[in-house]
């Protein structure tokens, strides 16, 4: 009698497979966000060196995230046809090489061109990583797994900014950017060696008609479109704060050095705790019950940044950072839970909105800074966060899904989206 093969087990926390997966995803998040955001503390230096405005300097990040947003709409579909791991490895290595090339660019337009290409190559990782976690991890471990991946993103975002900002003060911005590129190559190699192969991936031919149908089906869900908007508001608010923070702290009355401003990005380390902790808490209590607290904390932080004492400003940045990483962890895992079979497409649309928030709001904030200084930026960011809070309170009343296919192992009710 033929015996049917047992289905492959899902990855659960506490197992060696979980540790290997999260080390690989931590390295991937570190590389992706270090490569992406290493230019952020250098914007005042770009303004001085290339004689561009604050909003013009912000294009070094906004162009990257804008291209990244559009490219990720297709990254999920390509990974359905070509496989998850191969797309992610190629994405990381190509992106690290492009950052190395950035350090060699002779003029501002050439730098913007390479930064735009970086958005294209980076698109192969974030959406696919979200899909990999949703496919390969047990539902009880998805929140923690996604939180740990985002922790790597937090460390990478901090590390990229810190390395480029501090080295720029001593050796020039080109050395800082090149060093980030080398770290990215190393992280990509760790990812390639440590990530287990997909065991629940089912290859799907790239059929554009069915792909568009899966995209359209997501917008019939009551919750997913609002979760996409939350992604736009979260990163739009967060990136705008950090884009123009350096300008404020380098100017009177603070007059901090580039090194000190770079060290302030160490606040990102808070994200390594808040993303994992709030993601795990949401998995136990329910995402609906926890998400609104992330936006409320960010709103408090924005208010604190409008004060003058440096300590209160820094406490405000801490609150914004804690709330952002926690909120992103909750929303990104919630998208995977509600999407069902369209996980790759849902992740792509979520991250499209997420990075369009960075691109649009991050560049728009420069107009508010030029016209009204930091208070203009804070009011703009406060409006974004308030909108996110109101949507989170509406989502609080959203009924959890009860018809999502899950593996045979029982799942606690609190983990439902």
Give the residue-averaged pLDDT of 224-242: 94
Residue 207 confidence class, pLDDT cut points 50, 70, 90: low
Give domain status of residue 202, yes or no: no
Give domain status of residue 8, yes or no: no
Q: Is the model's pLDDT at 180 over the cut of 80? A: yes
Provide the domain limits for residue 40. Answer: 16-196+217-401
Average pLDDT, the chain: 82
Confidence (pLDDT) at 1: 46
Give domain status of residue 212, yes or no: no
Give domain status of residue 209, yes or no: no
Give domain status of residue 6, yes or no: no
pLDDT-above-70 percentage for the chain = 83
Residue 159 confidence class, pLDDT cut points 50, 70, 90: confident
Q: Is the model's pLDDT at 415 over the cut of 50? A: no
Confidence (pLDDT) at 13: 67
Confidence (pLDDT) at 206: 60
Confidence (pLDDT) at 406: 38
Q: Is the model's pLDDT at 143 over the cut of 90? A: no
Confidence (pLDDT) at 80: 65
Quick: pLDDT tens for 266-306: 787 787 778 778 877 877 777 888 899 999 999 999 999 99
Which residue, chain included where needed, has tokens 């050439």? Answer: 110
Residue 260 confidence class, pLDDT cut points 50, 70, 90: confident
Q: Which domain CATH number covers 92? A: 1.20.1250.20
Confidence (pLDDT) at 228: 93
Q: Is the model's pLDDT at 134 over the cut of 80? A: no
Give domain status of residue 340, yes or no: yes
Enter the tokens of residue 220: 């019939």
Tell me the range of 75-79, 198-202, 338-342, 361-365 where mean pLDDT is highest. 361-365
What domain count does the chain have?
1
Q: Is the model's pLDDT at 79 over the cut of 70? A: no
Which of 76-80, 172-176, 190-194, 373-377 bottoms out in mean pLDDT, i.e. has the lowest?
A: 76-80
Give domain status of residue 309, yes or no: yes
* Verdict on whether the full-model pTM lies above 0.75: no
Quick: pLDDT tens for 336-379: 777 766 776 787 788 889 889 988 998 899 899 999 999 999 99
Quick: pLDDT tens for 35-45: 998 998 899 88
Identify the residue with better confidence: 166 or 13. Answer: 166
Q: Is the model's pLDDT at 405 over the cut of 60? A: no
Which of 108-117, 182-191, 346-355, 380-389 bottoms out in mean pLDDT, i.e. has the lowest?
A: 346-355
Give domain status of residue 203, yes or no: no
3-state DSSP of the chain: CCCCCCCCCCECCCCHHHHHHHHHHHHHHHHHHHHHHCCHHHHHHHHHHHCCCHHHHHHHHHHHHHHHHHHHHHHHHHHHHHCHHHHHHHHHHHHHHHHHHHCCCCCHHHHHHHHHHHHHHHCCCHHHHHHHHHHHECHHHHHHHHHHHHHHHHHHHHHHHHHHHHHHHHHCHHHHHHHHHHHHHHHHHHHHHHCCCCCCCCCCCCCHHHHHHHHHHHCCCCCHHHHHHHHHHHHHHHHHHHHHHHHHHHCCCCCCCHHHHHHHHHHHHHHHHHHHHHHHHHHHHCHHHHHHHHHHHHHHHHHHHCCCCHHHHHHHHHHHHHHHHHHHHHHHHHHHHHHHHHHHHHHHHHHHHHHHHHHHHHHHHHHHHHHHHHHHHHHHHHHHHHHHHHHHHHHCCCCCCCCCCCCCCCCCHHHCC
């Amino acid at each position: 009698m033929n015996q049917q093969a047992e289905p492959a087990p899902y990855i659960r926390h506490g197992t060696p497979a979980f540790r290997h997966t999260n080390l690989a995803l931590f390295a991937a998040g570190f590389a992706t966000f270090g490569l992406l955001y290493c230019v952020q503390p250098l914007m005042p230096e770009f303004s001085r060196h290339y004689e561009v405005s604050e909003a013009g300097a912000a294009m070094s990040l906004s162009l990257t995230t804008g291209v990244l947003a559009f490219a990720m709409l297709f990254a999920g579909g390509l990974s359905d046809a070509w496989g998850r791991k191969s797309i992610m490895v190629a994405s990381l290595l190509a992106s690290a090489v492009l950052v190395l090339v950035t350090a060699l660019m002779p003029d501002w337009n050439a730098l913007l061109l390479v930064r735009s290409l970086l958005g294209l190559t980076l698109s192969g990782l974030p959406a696919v990583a979200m899909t990999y976690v949703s496919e390969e991890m047990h539902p009880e471990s998805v929140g923690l797994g996604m939180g740990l991946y985002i922790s790597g993103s937090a460390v990478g975002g901090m590390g990229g900014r810190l390395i480029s900002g501090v080295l720029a003060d001593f050796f020039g911005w080109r050395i800082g950017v090149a060093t980030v590129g080398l770290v990215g190559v190393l992280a990509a190699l760790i990812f390639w060696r440590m990530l287990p192969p997909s065991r629940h991936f089912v290859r799907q031919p790239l059929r554009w008609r069915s792909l568009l149908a899966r995209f359209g089906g997501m917008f019939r869900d009551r919750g997913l479109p609002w979760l996409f908007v939350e992604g736009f508001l979260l990163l739009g608010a967060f990136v705008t704060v950090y884009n123009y923070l350096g300008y404020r702290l380098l100017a009177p009355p603070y007059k901090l050095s580039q090194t000190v401003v770079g060290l302030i990005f160490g606040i990102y380390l808070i994200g390594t705790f808040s993303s994992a902790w709030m993601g795990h808490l949401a998995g136990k209590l329910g995402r609906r019950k926890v998400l609104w607290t992330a936006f409320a904390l960010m709103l408090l932080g924005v208010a604190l940044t409008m004060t003058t004492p440096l300590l209160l400003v820094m406490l405000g940045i801490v609150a914004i950072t804690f709330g952002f990483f926690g909120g992103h962890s909750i929303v990104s895992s919630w998208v995977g839970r509600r999407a069902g079979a369209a996980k790759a497409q849902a992740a792509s649309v979520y991250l499209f909105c997420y990075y369009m928030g960075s691109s649009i709001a991050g560049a728009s904030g420069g107009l508010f800074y030029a016209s009204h200084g930091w208070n203009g930026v804070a009011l703009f960011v406060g409006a974004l966060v308030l909108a996110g809070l109101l949507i989170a309170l509406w989502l609080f009343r959203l009924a959890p899904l009860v018809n999502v296919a899950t593996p045979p192992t029982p799942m606690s009710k609190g983990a439902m989206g």
